[in-house]
Structure 1
């Protein structure tokens, strides 16, 4: 089971991505003064939030399985 990923880790990763992306969406809606009013700016912030949540979501399962190559990514 060297390269396999368990169901618990998949659930943890998907949940982290969803929560991180929703947190970014709520941040934009709460404090709209800091962001540009163009639709392109909203899209950039949402995509950046999704990417950041995705990268952060993979860090915890990688540390739990002691896969330090994945952590350095």
Structure 2
């Protein structure tokens, strides 16, 4: 395998595993939010604000991984120009 194929493989792994992790994280947090709001309905507004803040942070971490993968795909510093 060449260096370019390793870059493509690593970009796919970064994006794929990052999206799986983000989806699982948001799903677990959403289920815990529904459980907490069912137990204490008076705290729905406070919990909803915190949930949306954490969803943004989880998605931001995934998008940082996508940005790093795109950096390696289009401007790879590890492949020397000959």
TM-score (norm 2): 0.46
1:55, distance to aligned residue in structure 2 (A):
6.3
Give the unaligned 5+ runs of structure 2: 38-45, 69-77
What is the CA–CA distance in structure 1 between the aligned matches of 2:63 and 2:12, rounded to whole Å?
13
Deviations 1:10-64 (CA, angstroms, capped at 9, x unpaired): 10010122111101111122211287133xx232111222244566897xxxxxx
Partner residue of 1:48 out of 49, 57, 63: 57
Give the unaligned 5+ runs of structure 1: 59-66, 68-73
After superposing on structure 2, the runs of 4+ consecutive aligned residues of structure 1 that deviate more than 6 Å are 55-58
**Partner of residue 26, structure 1:** 27
**Partner of residue 47, structure 2:** 36
Based on CA coordinates, which of the two structures has the bigger radius of gyration?
A: 2
TM-score (norm 1): 0.51
What is the CA–CA distance in structure 2 between the aligned matches of 1:31 and 1:6, rounded to whole Å?
37
Q: Normalized per residue, which structure has more helix?
A: 2
Where relative contact order (Cα < 8 A, 6+ residues apart) is larger, the structure is 2
Give the number of equivalent residue pairs.
55
